[in-house]
Structure formats: structure tokens, C-alpha cells
Structure 1
Amino acid sequence: MRIDVVFRYVGIVLLFIAAFMLLSAGISCVSGMDSSFYPLLLSALLTILLGAFPLIFVGKRDQISNKEGFCIVVGAWLVACVVGMFPYLIWGGEFSLVNAWFESVSGFTTTGASVLTDVEALPRGLQFWRFSTTWIGGMGVVMFALVVLPTMGRSKMTLSNVEMSSLARDNYRYRAQMIVHVLLVVYVGLTAISTVMLKLSGMNWFDALCHAMSACATSGFSTKNASVAYFDSPLIETVLILTMGIAGMHFGLIYATVTGKRNNLFRSEVTRWYVGILLGCSVLIAVSLYAADIYPTLTSSFRHAAFQFFSLMTTTGFASADSNVWPPFAVILLMFGSIVCACAGSTTGGMKVNRLVLAGKMIRTQLQRQQHPNAVIRIKLDGMLQEDGVIHGVMIFIVTYMLAILSGTVFSALCGVDLLTGFSGTVACLGNVGPGFGEVYSLGNYAGIPAAVKFFNAFLMLLGRLEIFGLIQLFFLKWWR
């Protein structure tokens, strides 16, 4: 493996990230040269130096191997999180080293968990940088950089295939070079439409843009301490529900639907399950809230139930209410949504509806084989025959995912965190959801948990964002041939 090639392409990603730092510094300048201008400018200069250095000494390569592509993708994610700390550390405030790392990782992995007790105290430039990290991470650190590298040829195909999971690639009907552009069109288009709709719903332009970026990235960062509950607007919540719901769908299918292709959302079995779970669980939670007399009317119960469940299942993490006081049945369904999450090929994390549907079909197939031992039964998903390797991979992923949740819960308990906070926080960080229950509830934050748990949870965020095995393989590179 050519390490110099890995450094070169990671350097290109750093230059791309530096551009967003400069943009954030521009926001700071327009906002009256607030206190974040010089931290952002200095951070941008440092990132440019780090990114430009390998480009000076390493020449362009026409092709890269799969092993090099893997190292570039994982390396870019890790280095992006490191340089993402620079503005926070230089600005100071609540940002200790651990807090800055946690906030940076949470942003780039679109988890949206925060250690800040007073988000509104941040200057506007630093606020925008938080949302920039999460917007970049939503589409993918490397995917975004590939948009500005049209001459990479096969290298672009290799990198896009490494960063995108096999489940996400299944529903694309385009050449590999086109996938990046399809993602960009849907992502930027949805962000622009959402921004305008939020502005028309009553937000100012800055809040509208920031919340649109956060919703499309399914992150959950907000400019307000009370999150979306601050606005107390059914119209704003409706716009965000639609945005979050769409952002949780496969982007290739969204593009196909808009352009009139046959392979679209309406023909997708996974999408039907996804929408069915969203609506069904929202109704069940609403009934439980109304029965428990949490809200006076069934309408208000459904309003908050739908927003909270859409928010958690799409791994966004916005909050319109304090779900800590909700009845156990509602909490169980919210936890179910936090584990399963939305569709592959979206900006969401979690286990994915695709794997849940396949797991259900595997159970049904096993029952059928016991009844008919000689029968040949094949599993299909969205009309495509699933190979045995894919089925085996889904089983291994689900088992590993549950083991990661168990490990995080046990580690949190060892560090003195109560069981509800430890378990829900682990689920929220591994699934890139953000809020959990207990101390890390919907209107709370992660400021009060021990530093060791913050660091471990940041590792879980990266583990979940890179589909578990993407990060684990980094430790077994010597096994590669």
C-alpha cells in the first residue's frame, strides 16, 4: 500500500474542510466580527497547511487500490474530526479537549449529541461551523470532496464504493461516477427547499438555514438550547417532519422518483416498511400519551409523538418536548426507533430498516425450511435476489451491533453512569441519533457524563457512521492481501 497516496487524498479532503472554515469565518465577519472570526481563520490556515503539505510532495496517481481507498476514507473521517476541533479549542469557553473532540465527532458523524450547556452563547460564526461539520458529514466527508474532483476517473469510483455500504448501492441504477452527483443534487436541493419553507414558517434566515442543514443531515444540532421546542410552532415542526422523513429515504430512489424513473420510492418495499413504521409507531405513542394524560388532546399528543418519533428514527435528534416524562410504552417505541433507524442510502445511521426487513424474511424462511426441508427458498428485497453472502453479512452486522450496545452500556455503568442513561446514550451514539433518556434526554445534553464515557461514546459515533466494520478493519490492515 502506498502511504503517500493516502496522505495526498486525505490532504484534498482537508482543503475542502478548510473552505467551510473560511465560509464560517465569513459568516462571523458579516455578523460584526464576533469572537469566533480569528479562531476560525486560524483554524482554516492550519488546516490548509496540513492539507497542502502532502500535495506538494506527492504527485497525482491515476488509480488507487481498494486497500488504499479504504485507508483514504477512514483516514479522512478521523482527520476531519481532529481538525474540526481546532475552532472549538482556539475559541475556548466550554470546550476542553475532550469536549471539543466529542462535539467535532458528533458533528461530522451527524449524531447531534452536544456537551454544550448554553448553545445560544456561541458566536454566530462558530454556530455555523457546527452546522457545517454536520452538513458535510451527512453526505459523507469523502463524497463531498469527490464532487469537486471531476478528473479522478476510476479513483472516484473506488472511493465512492468504499464510503457507501453495499445496502445503499443496491438501489442505484446509475454508473458509479453518477452516484456522487445524484447525492449532491438531492442533498443540496432538499436543503434549499427546507430552508425556504422554514423561513416562510417563521424562522429568520440564519435559523432556517442552520435547521435545514441539520435536518437534511439528520443531525439534530440546533441554534437554541431548547431545540425546536423553543419555536413552539406546529408549522415549523411539520416542515421539519417532512424534511427528516425524506432525508431518511434512499437518495437514489428520491432522485428516481423526481425524474420519473420506474425504480422509485413507490415501488420500494423498504420505503413502505419505513413509512409504515413511522406512522404506525407515531399513532401508538400518541394514544399512550393521551391515555396517560400527558397532553390534553389527541391532536397535541399526535403532534409531539410524530415529531419525536420521526426525529429519533431518522437519527436527527431534534426535540419538541421532554420525552423523559413520557410513559414507558412510548419510551420503548422511541428506543425501538433509535435502534432500527431509517433506510440505507440516506444520511441516517443506525441498524437500518433494510436489515430489519431482511431479518424478518430470514426468520420466515427458516420456519418454511423446517416445514419443507427439501424446498429451495430464496430471499428477495425490493425485487432483487439476495445472495447468501449478503444475508450472512446482515446477520453478522446485527449481532455485532447488539454486542456494541452491550459493551457501551457496561462501560458506562463501570464509570458510574446510571443504567437508563448508559444504555440509551450508547444506543443514541452508536446509531448517530443524539438524545437518549435519563441525563441525556431530549432537552438535555452530555455535559454531565464522565470524560471517559464521552470519549468512548465518540468512538461509538464513528463506529456507527462507518457501519462498524469500516472502522474495525483499520486495526486489521496487516491481514489484507
Structure 2
Amino acid sequence: MKFTLNFKYIFRIYGYIILLIGLAMLPAFITSWAYNEPDISIGFLTSGLVATTIGALLIIVSQPQHHNLKARDVYMIVGLAWPIMAFFGALPYIVSGYTESFASALFESTAGFTTTTATAFIVEVTPKGLLMWKAICHWLGGLAILVFLVGFLSALGSGGNKIFSDEFPVLTSDKPISKFADSKRMFYVYLFFTVTEFIFLSFSEMNLFDNLVTTMGCVSTSGLFAHSSGIAYFDSIYIEAVIIVYTILSAISYTLYPMIARGRFREVLRNSEVKTYLTILLVAIIIVAFNLFTTGTCETIGDSLRYAAFYSASFATTSGYNVVDYGSWPTMCLVTFVILMLIGGCTASTSGSIKVARIMVMVKLMTQTFYKRIHPHAVMDVQIGDTHVSSQVVARVTSFILSFFAIILGSSVVVSLQGFDLSTNLSVVIAMMTNTGIYLGDFGALGYFGIFSDGLQIFLAFLMIIGRLEIFSVLILFSPSFWHPSRTID
């Protein structure tokens, strides 16, 4: 079989992505100009011109003869889209002269587009223009997951469907993608959340800049904040409550909100993934609050519930927001947070990690296996709610989870080369793979990674992309069979 890739169409899509990044630098340029940051302004102007020029040239030069994409084409688009975004997103940090480390610039940009609460720079001394740019990267990263990875790829035919089913294995098991992968509706919901949260935060003591940065960081579940101390900078229960609500909303499947708009509330309430997710969150809040109060970490029940709710939502949505230094909290709390990080949010949301649907499949599979040990002749199917999960989907989910933890273990060995303790090594890798960004350690609550070497920062950036793109969309490019002319994955 002849090996072909629709390179012209692929590069045309890359052109649109790069062009969008270049145009998105305009608000950051305006911000840096308004705050009298001339070097940063020049950096954005130059980087924006470079990106828009390259993007426009790719669009003009790449005129595909046909628009049919096979699985190889789609994997190629997805696997390289985020590295391309990260590369061009890193240009303002370098061109402006803010940093001479390309690794740190790439790490910062990658954290943005993968919606990870991680930074290689100290937030308090970062110019306003660059903070605005990172907020834009976070917002675009969340939008890209919903509209590009979910909506666009599912509309490409069989090739896109394969990518989509890798990302959302349970929801796509017996329903046509076109029924719910409507990128336009997802965009409207995403925009609605952005606007309404901005309005709610306008009633707080935040200024316009803090409000914009916080809003874009919240709806993308990236946890970005304009101050190193996090939400504690304002010490406002109102701000914390708004953030809790919108991070949870963003961690729930965006495919459900159009149903709510059409008045189909019963279908939403029957959604087993959402019910399981909210149950997990509620149980975590109770456990953490009880532990904080009984150990004397918090003096009142009110404070215990306040911090338990905030941090449980922060980790369960993989947003990684910070209020206080949780590193000295009881071990039970920290273990609960790690579990929440590993579970993550719902499918078809902006949150990262394994996702609740996959966890549900694995729990059902383990229950089925245990039952068949007792009743070997019993015939049982894995079922999530009203959905019968096929053996093919179960195999994909099992493979994903095993690969997820295998990468965590292997990557922990790499991180250990810098000499950190075991808890730091493991939590750093988990923070990257789950796109949470905060970890256990001296600087973990701040999500600060400037203490890591350049080589390790690049490696961690790679982990962020792997975690964001659900592992296989990236690793398949390293498979010899992907490039072998006599083999096909179409």
C-alpha cells in the first residue's frame, strides 16, 4: 500500500493555527504598551509579525487538491499542533529579551496552551504584557481542546473519529459524533462562561487586569493568577466561591450544556459521569474538611469547609489554584488531592488527567472480573449508565490507564536525576501529566518550575503535551509503523 500524507492540507491547517497565534498577540501588545513596557511591546510586535507572516504564507502556498484526511493525517495534525503553538507562543519571551533561556520560554508557553498551572518565572516580577499573553494562551488552550480537538477533528470523517474516540472513549461508544461534537455550540458555552465569570468578578475588589487574567485562567481550568500568592492575595471568600463554581462548570462535559439550554434537564441529571464526578468531589470535601478540623490545622468548621471545598475543586478540576501552603497539611489531605489529580474531570471538558469516564470503566471492569471469579459462567457486559461499553473501548481504556501510569513511573526516574526527594519526583510528573501544575515540595504550591534545569524543563513540557493530548495522539508519531509505507492505521 502506498504511504501518503495530505501534506498540503496539513500545512494549511498549521498555517491557520500560526496565524491565529500571531493575531492573538495583539491584546498582549496593547497591554504591554498601556503599562509602559517598551521592550515587551517590541517583542510582541516582532513576534506577531513573524507568526502572522509565516501563517499567511503557509495558507497561501498550501492549496490541497482534496480535503480528505485519513487517520495518519489527523494524528499528524494533532501530534504537532501543540508543539507548534508552544514554539510560536514562546517567541515573545525570547524576542523581548525577558529571558535568554529558550527552555524556560518554551515551558511557559507549553504550560499556557496545555492549560497547566506551571511557570518558570516569578509571577510578581513578570511584565503585565507577558502575563496577559500567558492568560491568552491558557484561554486558547482550553478553547483548542473543545473546538479543535473535539469539534474540528470529529468533523473530518473516519480519521477524525478515531482521534475523537481516543479522547472520549465512553461517550462515543454507541453515539454518532455529529450528535454532540458541535464545536460552534461548545465555543458559545465557553464564551458564555468567560463573559459571565468576568461580570461576577467585576463585583469583587479585583482590578480590570486581574479580572481578565483570572477569568481566562479559570474557564480553561488552568489556575492562572496574576499574583504569586494565588487567591490568597485577595483573601476573599466571594472570589473563591466564583472560582470554585466556574472551575467545576468547566470540568463538566461541555456536550451537556446545549442539552440544558434546550430544557433536557432529566437527561443531564441522569448522566452517570457527572453524578459520579460530583459525588467524588463531595466525598473529597468531607474527608479533607474532617481531617483539617480534627487535626487542628483549621480552628473552625467554617475554615475547614472553606479550604476543603476550594482545594478539592482545585485538584479535581486540575485547575491547580492555590490559597494557602497546603504542603504542611495532614497526609490524608495530600493523598486525597493526589487521587483527585489522577482522576481529573469529565470527558469533553477543559480539565485534564485520566477523566472520570475511564475510571468508571475500570471500576466496572474490576467488579466484573471479581464477580466472574465467583460465578465463572456468568455473562456480564461493562455498562456505564445506559451505555453498554464494547470490549474494544474497554481495551482502549485499559491501555490508556496502564500507559498513563507507566509514563509517570518512567518519567519519575528522569526527574530524580536532579536530586529531589521521592514525593517531589512523583508529584511533579503527576502534575505535568494531569495538567494540574502544582506539586508537593518547597515551591509546589506556587507551581514554580524555575528551579529545574533547562533540559528537564523541556522534558516536562513534553509531558504536559502528552497529558493534554491523551498520550497516544503524540506517541503514535514515534511508532515505526506510523511511517512504514506497507502498513496502515486508517
Q: Provide the TM-score with structure 1 as the length reference.
A: 0.93
* Most deviating of 317-326 and 22-31: 22-31
- Give the corresponding residue for 1:90: 95
User: Which residue is 2:29 aligned to?
Assistant: 25
1:233 to 222, 236, 241: 236
Q: 1:244 to 1:173 in 2, by over 3 A?
A: farther
Question: What are the residue-to-residue correspondences of 1:445-456 with 2, within 5 Å?
Answer: 445-456=448-459
Given that 2:168 and 2:348 are in contact with CA atoms closer than 8 Å, whether structure 1 keeps it comes out as: no
> Quick one: which of 127, 133, 140 aligns to 1:129?
133
Once the two structures are superposed, the pairs formed by residues 121-200 of structure 1 within 5 Å of their partners are 121-140=125-144, 143=147, 155=156, 159=160, 162=163, 165-167=167-169, 169-170=171-172, 175=178, 179-200=182-203
Structure 1: tracts of 5 or more residues without a match: none
Residue in structure 2 matched with residue 106 of structure 1 by the alignment: 111
Q: Does 1:354 align with 2:371?
A: no
SS in 2 for 1:251: coil
Q: Distance in 2 between matches of 1:23 and 1:162?
A: 32
Change (3 A) 1:259 1:209: farther
Shift of 1:156: 8.1
AA matched with 1:101: L
User: Are 1:81 and 2:86 matched, yes or no?
Assistant: yes
Deviation at 1:167, TM superposition (A): 2.8
Measured against aligned partners, the alpha-carbon deviations of 1:388-439 in whole angstroms (never above 9, x if no partner) come to: 0001111111111111111121111123122111110000001000101113
Alpha-carbon separation, structure 1, partners of 2:172 and 2:149: 23
User: In the alignment, what sits opposite 1:387?
Assistant: 390
Give the partner amino acid of 1:170.
T
Greater alpha carbon shift after TM alignment, 35-44 vs 155-164 = 155-164
Q: How far is the alpha carbon of 1:144 from its aligned partner?
A: 5.1
CA distance in 2, matches of 1:204, 1:116: 22
Q: Tell me, yes or no, if the aligned pair for 1:111 and 1:433 is still in contact at 8 Å.
A: yes
Alpha carbons 2:219, 2:247 under 8 Å: kept: yes
Residue 13 (structure 2) aligns with? 9
CA distances 1:68-87 after superposition (whole Å, capped 9, x unpaired)? 12211222211111101101
Residues 446-471 of structure 1: CA deviation (Å, up to 9, x unaligned): 11123332222111101101101111
Q: Return the alpha-carbon distance in structure 2 between the equivalents of residues 355 and 177 of structure 1.
A: 19
Q: CA, structure 1 residues 139+199, in 2 after alignment: closer, same or farther (shift >3 Å)?
A: same
Unpaired runs of 5+ residues, structure 2, are none
1:340 counterpart residue number: 343
One-letter amino acid of the counterpart of residue 37, structure 1: S
Q: Does 1:460 align with 2:446?
A: no
Which residue in 1 is equivalent to 2:423? 420
* Partners of 1:157 and 1:177 within 8 A in 2: no
- The answer to whether the Cα contact below 8 Å between 2:231 and 2:322 also exists between their aligned partners in 1 is yes
Match of 1:374 among 373, 377, 380: 377
Per-residue CA deviation, residues 31-79 of structure 1 (Å, 9 max, x unaligned), is: 4465421111111111112212222222144322222122112222111
Matches within 5 A, 1:197-346: 197-261=200-264, 264-346=267-349
Describe the SS at the equivalent of 2:182.
Answer: helix
Counterparts of 1:405 and 1:37, CA distance in 2: 39
Distance 1:231 1:437 in 2: 24
TM-fit CA distance, 1:191? 1.1
What amino acid does structure 2 have at the position aligned with 1:199?
S
Letter in 2 for 1:92: G
Residue 271 of structure 1 deviates from its aligned partner by 0.7
Helix, strand or coil at the partner of 2:446? coil
Quote the residue 2:62 is aligned against. Answer: 58
Distance change in 2, residues 1:187/1:158 (3 Å): farther
Letter in 1 for 2:60: I
SS of residue matched to 1:442: helix
Partner of 2:32, secondary structure, is: helix
State the 1:362 CA deviation: 0.6
After superposing the two structures, state which structure 1 stretch, 408-417 or 104-113, moved more: 408-417
Instruction: Give me the CA root mean square deviation.
Output: 2.4
Query: Whole-Å Cα distance in 1 between the matches of residues 299 and 112 of structure 2?
Result: 36
Alpha-carbon separation, structure 2, partners of 1:344 and 1:206: 31
Once residues 41 and 161 of structure 2 are traced to their aligned partners in structure 1, the CA distance between those partners, rounded to angstroms, is 34
Q: Is the 8 A contact 1:73 1:163 kept in 2?
A: no
* Aligned 8 A contact 1:226 1:443 in 2: yes
Q: CA deviation at 1:163?
A: 5.8
Distance in structure 2 (CA, Å) of the matches to 1:411 and 1:108: 24
SS at match of 1:175: helix
Q: Give the AA of the match of 2:87.
A: V
Deviation track 1:79-122 (CA, whole Å, cap 9, x = no partner) reads 111101101111233451111111111111111211112x1322
- Runs of 4+ in structure 1 deviating by more than 6 angstroms, as ranges, are 171-174
Q: CA separation of 1:2/1:372 partners in 2, compared to 1, >3 Å: closer, same or farther?
A: same
In structure 2, give the amino acid aligned to 1:4: K
Distance 1:380-1:468 versus aligned 2 partners, 3 A rule = same
- Contact map agreement 2:103 2:458 (CA 8 A) in 1: yes
Instruction: For 1:230 and 1:170, locate their aligned partners in 2 and report how far apart those are by CA, in whole Å.
Output: 42
Distance change >3 Å, CA 6–CA 269, structure 1 → 2 = same
C-alpha displacement of 1:30 = 3.9
Alignment check: 8 A CA contact 1:6 1:72 kept: yes
CA contact (8 A) 2:353 2:467 kept: yes
Further displaced range: 2-11 or 230-239: 2-11
- Alpha-carbon distance in structure 2 between the residues aligned to 1:231 and 1:163: 40
What is aligned with 1:478?
A: 483
Opposite residue 451 of structure 2, the aligned amino acid is: G
Alpha-carbon distance in 1 for matches of 2:405, 2:149: 32
Residues 335-355 of structure 1 show CA distances to partners (whole Å, capped at 9, x for unaligned) of 111111111110011011111
Alignment size in residue pairs: 477
With over 3 angstroms needed to count, the CA separation of the structure-2 counterparts of 1:315 and 1:95, relative to structure 1, is farther
Deviation at 1:269, TM superposition (A): 0.9
User: For residues 431 and 134 of structure 1, what CA distance do their matches in structure 2 show?
Assistant: 15
Deviates more, 1:14-23 or 1:154-163: 154-163
Higher relative contact order (CA 8 A, sep 6+): 2
